[in-house]
């Protein structure tokens, strides 16, 4: 039987709106306690309540009763090349980059090394229920070939790009305005819209690009308006002062990107923790997007992202693990950190807010909500299958849960990769925890 044409019985949860945007949170999602999902040719063909005659109607029915299926998680910010230096001790952003990050990224000049880590990372994403990601490579074009090749082997919807950086890093990691432009252009021609892959133009952050490089980056962006832009903004106080001092003609950090034509609906800015009023307005006005990376923000001591401010201003936000400054590949663990980041600001992240952020919110942040992040008919069948309880503590807590939202909240706070039973990409089961030991 083709795994691409299949029917699954389970509980299903997916969002149809941002819980922050609807009158009552219950209007934001659909839940089927005993549901049936039909997949045809990698797309969702049907989602409804399970009926008694379905077992006869679908002889190949996959019975996952008791498990919870959601759209696969979407990680809107990760540096795959930083995996081996995850949890590097003691530094904040700028010192952390110099001490740990740059030496590690140097190794991706070697394609075989890049292949090895790319394969590891793709497996790790799937094992954590993440089916799509927006990924930083390194300055080396072959680092992007490596991650795209591994993603293509699983038919994942993945967006990635080569870092552009021509100053303020070790010589061995620098490109030039011309080589950064030419190499990025060649990668766009090679990979953008090939299968489910898309390209993101990737200036690391303003401090590591000269004005000449940002000018050519803006030119490339204008030549390929369908591609993405990914970069960092306003993560750390010292970084902000440095960026502003390097571009004194600009009104602020975010304005540097605006000045060079790099903002807009397909531009994703990581962190954006310390934005000014003007910068919040500029985010709204340009419909630019933020990747919220709570684990990283706490690990590097960067600060607390004001998520409620973003929803008030209707700025789209996705969830990012930001490995290796983030300390986990798990969107569940990252949501647990997000909850705590909001608590420290007197704000709340409900389970619905959280799971929205990790699914439809991420898809909307990437302008892909017509394809992923949802179980709506016609969308791509990327799924995460969750066990409600994977530990004794989780089991005890779940047995004490009052209602669906309470169960989801406990899952969000206590869950991790042990709760991921299986992951499907375009209708294919690409990870199954039950088969691991076989």
* Residue ranges binding ligand GUN (CB under 6 A): 79, 93, 97, 101, 204-205, 232, 235, 296, 322, 325
Q: What is the DSSP string of 221-254?
A: HHH-TTSEEEEEES-SHHHHHHHHHH-TTSSSHH
Nearest approach in angstroms of CB 290 to ligand GUN is 14
SS3 173: helix
Residues numbered 305-324 forming contacts with Zn ion, rule: CB under 5 A: 322
d(CA 359, CA 382): 11
Cβ distance 165 to 105 under 8 Å?
no
| Smaller CB separation from Zn ion, 270 or 311 | 270
d(CA 201, CA 257): 13
| Smaller CB separation from ligand GUN, 98 or 406 | 98
How many CA atoms within 13 Å lie on the side-chain side of 244?
A: 11
DSSP 8-class letter at 87: S
Nearest approach in angstroms of CB 320 to ligand GUN is 9
Nearest approach in angstroms of CB 295 to Zn ion is 11
| Smaller CB separation from ligand GUN, 93 or 430 | 93
Q: Which does residue 93 touch among ligand GUN, Zn ion, none (CB within 5 to 8 A, set by kind)?
A: ligand GUN
| Smaller CB separation from Zn ion, 292 or 409 | 292
Q: Which does residue 101 touch among Zn ion, ligand GUN, none (CB within 5 to 8 A, set by kind)?
A: ligand GUN
Q: What is the DSSP string of 205-223?
A: -GGGS-HHHHHHHHHHHHH
d(CA 189, CA 177): 18
| Smaller CB separation from Zn ion, 270 or 334 | 270
Cβ distance 4 to 428 under 8 Å?
yes
Residues 6+ apart with CB under 8 A from 105: 81, 82, 138, 139, 163, 173
Residues numbered 318-357 forming contacts with Zn ion, rule: CB under 5 A: 322
| Smaller CB separation from ligand GUN, 175 or 235 | 235
Nearest approach in angstroms of CB 93 to Zn ion is 9
Residues numbered 266-305 forming contacts with Zn ion, rule: CB under 5 A: 270
- Integer CA distances (angstroms), 413 to 86, 337, 357, 423, in order: 21, 8, 14, 20
Q: Which does residue 146 touch among ligand GUN, Zn ion, none (CB within 5 to 8 A, set by kind)?
A: none
Interface size with Zn ion, residues (CB under 5 A):
2
Q: Which does residue 150 touch among Zn ion, ligand GUN, none (CB within 5 to 8 A, set by kind)?
A: none
Would you tell me which residues interact with Zn ion (CB under 5 A)?
270, 322
């Amino acid at each position: 039987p083709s795994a691409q044409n299949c029917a699954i019985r389970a509980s299903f949860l997916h969002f149809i709106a941002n819980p922050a945007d609807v009158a009552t949170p219950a209007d934001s999602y659909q839940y089927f306690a005993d549901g049936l999902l039909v997949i045809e040719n990698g797309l969702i063909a049907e989602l409804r309540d399970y009926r008694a005659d379905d077992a006869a109607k679908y002889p190949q029915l996959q019975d996952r009763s008791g498990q919870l299926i959601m759209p696969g998680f979407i990680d809107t910010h990760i540096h795959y090349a930083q995996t081996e230096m995850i949890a590097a001790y003691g530094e904040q952003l700028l010192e952390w980059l110099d001490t740990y990050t740059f030496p590690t990224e140097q190794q991706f000049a070697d394609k075989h090394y890049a292949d090895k880590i790319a394969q590891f990372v793709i497996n790790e994403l799937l094992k954590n229920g993440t089916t799509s990601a927006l990924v930083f490579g390194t300055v080396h074009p072959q680092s992007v070939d490596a991650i795209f090749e591994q993603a293509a082997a699983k038919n994942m919807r993945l967006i990635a790009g080569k870092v552009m950086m021509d100053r303020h890093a070790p010589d061995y990691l620098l490109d030039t305005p011309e080589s950064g432009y030419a190499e990025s252009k060649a990668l766009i021609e090679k990979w953008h819209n090939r299968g489910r892959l898309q390209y993101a133009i990737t200036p690391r952050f303003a401090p590591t690009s000269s004005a000449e490089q940002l000018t050519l980056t803006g030119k490339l962006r204008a030549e390929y308006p369908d591609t993405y832009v990914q970069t960092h903004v306003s993560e750390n106080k010292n970084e902000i002062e440095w960026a502003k001092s390097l571009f004194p003609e600009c009104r602020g950090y975010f304005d540097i990107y605006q000045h060079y034509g790099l903002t807009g609906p397909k531009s994703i800015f990581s962190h954006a923790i310390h934005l000014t009023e003007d910068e919040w307005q500029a985010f709204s006005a340009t419909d630019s997007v933020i990747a919220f990376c709570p684990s990283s923000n706490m690990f590097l001591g960067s600060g607390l992202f004001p998520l409620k401010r973003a929803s008030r201003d209707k700025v789209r936000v996705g969830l990012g693990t930001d490995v290796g400054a983030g300390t986990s590949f798990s969107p569940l663990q990252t949501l647990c950190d997000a909850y705590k980041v909001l608590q420290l600001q007197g704000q709340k992240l409900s389970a619905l807010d959280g799971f929205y952020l990790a699914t439809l919110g991420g898809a909307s942040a990437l302008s892909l909500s017509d394809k992923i992040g949802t179980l709506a008919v016609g969308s791509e069948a990327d799924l995460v299958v969750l066990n409600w309880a994977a530990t004794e503590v989780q089991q005890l807590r779940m047995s004490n849960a009052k209602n669906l939202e309470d169960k989801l909240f406990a899952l969000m706070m206590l869950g991790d990769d042990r709760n991921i039973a299986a992951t499907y990409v375009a209708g294919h089961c690409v990870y199954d925890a039950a088969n691991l030991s076989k």
